[in-house]
């Protein structure tokens, strides 16, 4: 791989991926409309990457951005279940129409491989745990429908057009640069910032719902390993830690690592579209391209807390 395009490259996950690409000597281009991504996320690679400000909903913009590119990492999305329920049309335009544009542009530009950021929401609220890639999908929100349809497009483009594609189903990604003020923020960034500010964090539901949280560095390495591997054909892989923790237990761990123990949560009604339990089997990705979550939950949480402290 000598050149790469990261759509959504100024975002939380995308910017981490861009940094590693640059460190590896890969000529890297970023396509971002900066609706949720931030230029400050790319400050560490300023002058070392080409930044294209544009929207994946515009085919010509994406076609231009894919010109001369070997690998596309498609990270751009509106990653909010709640917002997809409130505005399903916008969610569909970005997450599905935008993905189709990226696939078309990659095909038309002669891109070698596209790595697609899928979502564990494709599994829906299926009770069986852990989630394995052979399970029947059961999306329960417009967002999860969009992301799952994007997966199917990846498989079809591989079969019909010969574009090599890989789907990585992200579970609950966390780490530095996750914006707690965003509509698309994760619970960890919200917990940390609330506690550090002496405010009461909000738990939706009873707190007994569980999640498989995965540190962003692990997700970046999964993308890189998948991009240089022989897998393709729209094959789907879970990217997670393979461990589960309840939201209430998570809050306790954040309190322990921050040293703030006297903040009580506010409980609110569980949000529509939220799944009850989530846990991944990551064995398929491990066997196929050597993925393993090297940074564990506790270490990743500690790193994330330190980053938020420095930013405060």
Per the residue annotation, which of 143, 215, 291, 308 is the catalytic one? 143
Q: Which residues contact 238 (CB under 8 A, 6 or more apart)?
A: 120, 131, 132, 133, 169, 171, 280, 281, 282, 284, 285
Q: Quick one: tokens of 283?
A: 């064995």
Helix or strand (DSSP H, E) at 85 = helix 81-86
Distances (CA, A) of 75 to 43, 119, 155, 233, 296: 19, 11, 17, 19, 23
Q: Quick one: tokens of 73?
A: 């990492």
Q: How far apart are CA 181 and CA 121, in angstroms?
A: 22
Q: Quick one: tokens of 64?
A: 């231009």
Q: How far apart are CA 246 and CA 100, in angstroms?
A: 36
Q: How far apart are CA 15 and CA 11, in angstroms?
A: 6
Q: Which of 113, 93, 92, 94 is nearest to 103 (CA)?
A: 113
Please return the burial class of 260, using the count of CB atoms within 10 Å of its CB with bins 0-12, 13-18 and 19+.
Answer: middle
143 among known catalytic residues: yes
Contact status, residue 286 vs residue 173, Cβ threshold 8 Å: no
Q: How far apart are CA 187 and CA 16, in angstroms?
A: 19
Residues annotated as part of the active site: 143
């Amino acid at each position: 791989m000598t050149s790469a395009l990261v759509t959504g490259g100024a975002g939380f996950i995308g910017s981490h991926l861009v940094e590693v690409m640059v460190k590896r000597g890969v000529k890297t281009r970023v396509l971002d409309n900066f609706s949720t991504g931030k230029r400050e996320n790319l400050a560490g690679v300023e002058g070392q990457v080409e930044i294209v400000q544009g929207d994946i909903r515009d085919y010509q913009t994406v076609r231009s951005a894919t010109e001369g590119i070997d690998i596309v990492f498609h990270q751009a999305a509106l990653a909010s279940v709640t917002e997809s329920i409130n505005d399903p049309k916008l969610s569909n335009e970005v997450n599905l129409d935008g993905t189709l544009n990226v696939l078309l542009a990659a095909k038309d530009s002669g891109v070698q491989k596209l790595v697609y950021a899928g979502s564990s929401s494709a599994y829906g609220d299926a009770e069986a745990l852990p989630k394995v890639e052979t399970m029947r999908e059961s999306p329960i929100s417009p967002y999860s429908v969009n992301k799952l349809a994007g997966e199917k497009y990846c498989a079809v483009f591989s079969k019909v057009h010969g574009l090599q594609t890989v789907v990585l189903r992200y579970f609950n990604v966390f780490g530095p640069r996750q914006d707690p003020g965003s509509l698309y923020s994760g619970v960890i960034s919200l917990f940390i910032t609330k506690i550090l500010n002496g405010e009461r964090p909000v738990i939706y539901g009873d707190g007994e719902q569980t999640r498989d949280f995965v540190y962003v560095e692990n997700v970046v390495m999964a993308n890189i390993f998948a991009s240089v591997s022989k897998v393709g054909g729209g094959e789907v892989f879970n990217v997670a830690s393979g461990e589960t923790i309840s939201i209430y237990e998570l809050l306790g761990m954040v309190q322990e690592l921050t040293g703030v123990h006297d903040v009580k949560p506010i409980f609110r009604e569980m949000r529509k579209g939220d799944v009850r339990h989530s846990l991944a089997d990551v064995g398929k990705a491990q066997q196929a391209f050597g993925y393993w979550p090297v940074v564990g939950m506790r270490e990743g949480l500690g790193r994330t807390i330190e980053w938020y402290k420095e930013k405060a």
